Amino acid sequence: MAGRRLKQYLCDLWSNGFMTLKEYEKRIAAGDMVKSPPGPMMLSFSGRTLTHPLARKNRFACVDAADGVLNIAIVDRPVFSTRVMKDIYGSLFDCSAAVRGSLSPALLFHGGDRFC
């Protein structure tokens, strides 16, 4: 059961406008993308830019998926396969700080070899 949920969470991380922080900054600098505004202006921004990686729908889907990966790592403590570890490592470069914040501790809680 956890394996199927984990697979779906990883799919959600990569299919909801995933963009690395480096690529995000590069596209903003090139003028190909606008920077997401802070706070209250974010709601109107998200309604106008549905494909933006930090638009509300995309950002919340990715944060929920990252939180799901963290929950599985803490509760089920599975030994993540090499493929899963690659997906998590790749997602650590997401332009959303909340996604990075949930995935980082997931690596410490998974049931494989410990880092310390």
For the chain, what is the mean pLDDT?
85
DSSP secondary structure of 52-76: STTSHHHHHHHHHHHHHHHHHHHHT
**pLDDT (0 to 100) of residue 116:** 42
Classify 17 in phi/psi space as left (phi over 0), alpha (psi -120 to 50) or beta: left
pLDDT in tens, 91-104: 999 999 999 999 99
Which burial class, exposed, middle or buried, applies to 96 when counting CB atoms under 10 A from its CB (0-12, 13-18, 19+)?
A: buried
Amino acid residing at 94: D
Other C-beta atoms lying within 10 Å of the C-beta of residue 109? 17
pLDDT in tens, 18-27: 999 999 899 8
pLDDT in tens, 54-69: 887 888 899 999 999 9
The pTM (predicted TM-score) of the whole model is: 0.83
